[in-house]
Structure 1
Amino acid sequence: MNKLQNPTRPIFPFTAIIGQEEMKLALILNVIDPKIGGVMIMGDRGTGKSTTIRAIADLLPEIEVVIDDLFNSHVSDYDLMSDTIKKKINQGIQVSTEFIKVPMIDLPLGATEDRLCGTIDIEKALSEGIKTFEPGLLAKSNRGILYVDEVNLLDDHLVDILLDASASGWNIVEREGISIRHPARFVLVGSGNPEEGELRPQLLDRFGMHAEIRTVKDPYLRVQIVEQRSDFDLDPYACMSKFQEEQENLKNNIILAQNKLSDVTIDYDLRVKISEICGALDVDGLRGDIVTNRAAKAFAAYNGNDEVTVNDVKKVIKLCLRHRLRKDPLDTVDSGSKVGQVVDNILGQDSLN
């Protein structure tokens, strides 16, 4: 039997997605280094945002988790381990593990804070002295991807909670003096249509990267995209088989980049140039500098290089800075163009291609 035939719902292959290179690159870099801080994808309806995000989750290698643990705990990394599992490990208790697919969790627009963070059974805690925790979506998304479609329509309070958990890697639930915390390391991916409103600048700045996608105008490319989708709908397993080699190659490149990341260096002078660009663009705070450095390292690792080059920085810097600029309500110039002009002035105008 074809090994692609399985009871789970088939996912459109990531490598079969045509165009939208900005979005694909941002997602790949975030799975190589989740500390980049997630990605906000803004663009027209029907441009394949949800399809692409589900496809990258399906592409990723399986992860090893402790069996029957509520938080997908890692067996050896303390930062990705719940307090219960830490205690068992420290006491020398053997824990069993299994391999699962990387969690891909959708946050519905109507979700409550309890649904997101989890709940503590206060009655049982007070009467029996037992902390009973019902995990929320943050627990289930640990070591995975948390996807929020139409994040610009989500309640600001929930967006704050999401971004705090994403930045700290922990979720803390406190009720009536009882506190429970658990790891919540995930790649946060938000998407939305700018016609339905923008995120507040304070929240937008907390996303590591910002990808803009547009409807494809080229009629030949549009036909190719429609044919690709029709082929998948007609026989998904044949389509998946057709792209299996490309999928495996990309998966292997991501694994190699994850392993190589800690060894990648970035020259001091180039770091100064990055900060000079951020200063020239009047970017508030230092988050832009930090994310650009991280993303450039991830891109260098993805290309198998030990040191970040100027071209690596040029490739990622718009994604890292365009949403951090102060917006003039009367300014119609695309923020990416403004970043590009300053980058060319400071780093030179050598072609990336």
Structure 2
Amino acid sequence: MGMSFPFSAIVGQDEMKLALLIAAVDPRIGGVMVFGDRGTGKSTAVRSLAALLPHVPAEQAGYQDGSPCKGSVPVPFVDLPLGATEDRVVGALDLERALGAGIKAFEPGLLARANGGFLYVDEVNLLEDHIVDLLLDVAASGENVVERDGLSVRHPARFVLIGSGNPEEGELRPQLLDRFGLSVEVRTPQDLGQRVEILKRCDMFEREPVAFAAKWHRAERKTVKRIAAGRAVVASVTLSDAILALASRLCLNVAADGLRGELTLMRSARALAALEGVCEVDAGHIARVAPLALRHRLRRDVLDETGSTARIERALEELAA
């Protein structure tokens, strides 16, 4: 397996990196949808974060048939290709062996392999709707159930779902987009200095990957410690009634559909506070995660073409006044 580009060495794309860190601290947030141009480091960032995280127990990663399994393995990172069949995604039952020999023969799918890690779907907006439905259902429940002709197998499938796509190539259905916890917009850097720095770092990594990784080792260890510390305290981070009211007023102000946005806003703000090592969510945390949690849940306003992010920022300013 090749060496991953250091997460800390990724230039720019701060919003995407923040969303991934938040999802790593609290996977219940529901995954991350990344919209934007090709070649902007989407898959690189996800792979880098997965490679950065501490190893997980082997029995946690992938489907286990009950046999003893010891040791630890890297956090799984699984790519789901556009042409994947349902059997390849969820797994397949061997009915012939089951009926002939009375054995429940199960061939694990991609969901089993992703357990305990990340499932990455590039161009998710081009994936068949029934597969996307299936992914989101399993991601929400943390369990995959395969049923064929009266036979049933279930196994844990807890993973962070990361989708990416270019809106110009087809939109994701709103009801499906709404079920992603966070949404990120990435664009090709327009700053000349940033572009030059990206070229320099990519070139160094390609020529001397070990030396480049060593250069960023200290920063990577700091990120690992932040995530571990955040995971340890996130459940104890508190939100006052005033902060909960702020979150609800914001969602009302921008006319976010349903209550999923408020729940995601609450969980994301709590995860951000945990990452920063503080024990209580404040208005600043709400403001920072609000675009991530809400921009993909807003109805299109034909009288306001300023864009969802601008609407959220304007609402925050009005509530702060």
Whether TM exceeds 0.5 here: the answer is: yes
- Matched with 1:144 is 117
- Matched with 1:100 is 73
- Matched with 1:5 is none
The reply on whether 1:258 has 2:231 as its aligned counterpart is yes
The reply on whether 1:14 has 2:45 as its aligned counterpart is no
Partners of 1:264 and 1:216 in 2: CA distance? 35
Partners of 2:23 and 2:5 in 1: CA distance? 20
Give the alignment partner of residue 35 of structure 1, picking from 21, 28, 33: 28
Question: In the alignment, residue 45 of structure 2 is paired with which amino acid?
Answer: T
**TM-score (structure 1 length as normaliser):** 0.88
SS in structure 2 at match of 1:131? coil
Q: Deviations over 1:116-174 (max 9, x none)?
A: 00000111111222111100000110110000001011111100000000011111111
Give the alignment partner of residue 178 of structure 1, picking from 151, 163, 171: 151
Flag structure 1 segments of 5+ consecutive residues without an equivalent. 1-7, 73-83, 89-94
Q: Deviations over 1:33-76 (max 9, x none)?
A: 00000000001111111111111111111111239x8526xxxx
Q: Mapping of 1:217-256 within 5 angstroms?
A: 217-256=190-229
Give the alignment partner of residue 49 of structure 1, picking from 39, 42, 53: 42
Q: Deviations over 1:296-346 (max 9, x none)?
A: 000000000011111011111110000000124675322111111112212
Partners of 1:70 and 1:316 in 2: CA distance? 31
SS in structure 2 at match of 1:171? strand
The reply on whether 1:66 has 2:39 as its aligned counterpart is no
SS in structure 2 at match of 1:97? coil
In 2 relative to 1, CA 70–270 (structure 1 residues): closer, same or farther, beyond 3 Å? Answer: closer
Partners of 2:265 and 2:315 in 1: CA distance? 15
- Matched with 2:287 is 314
SS in structure 1 at match of 2:58? strand
- Matched with 2:129 is 156
Flag structure 2 segments of 5+ consecutive residues without an equivalent. none
- Matched with 1:81 is none
How far 1:107 sits from its partner (Å)? Answer: 0.2
Question: In the alignment, residue 40 of structure 1 is paired with which amino acid?
Answer: M
Question: In the alignment, residue 300 of structure 2 is paired with which amino acid?
Answer: K
Q: Count matched residues.
A: 321
- Matched with 1:278 is 251
Q: Deviations over 1:244-275 (max 9, x none)?
A: 01001110110010011111111111111101
Question: In the alignment, residue 277 of structure 1 is paired with which amino acid?
Answer: L
Give the stretch that moved more between structures: 221-230 or 330-339. 330-339
Question: In the alignment, residue 274 of structure 1 is paired with which amino acid?
Answer: A
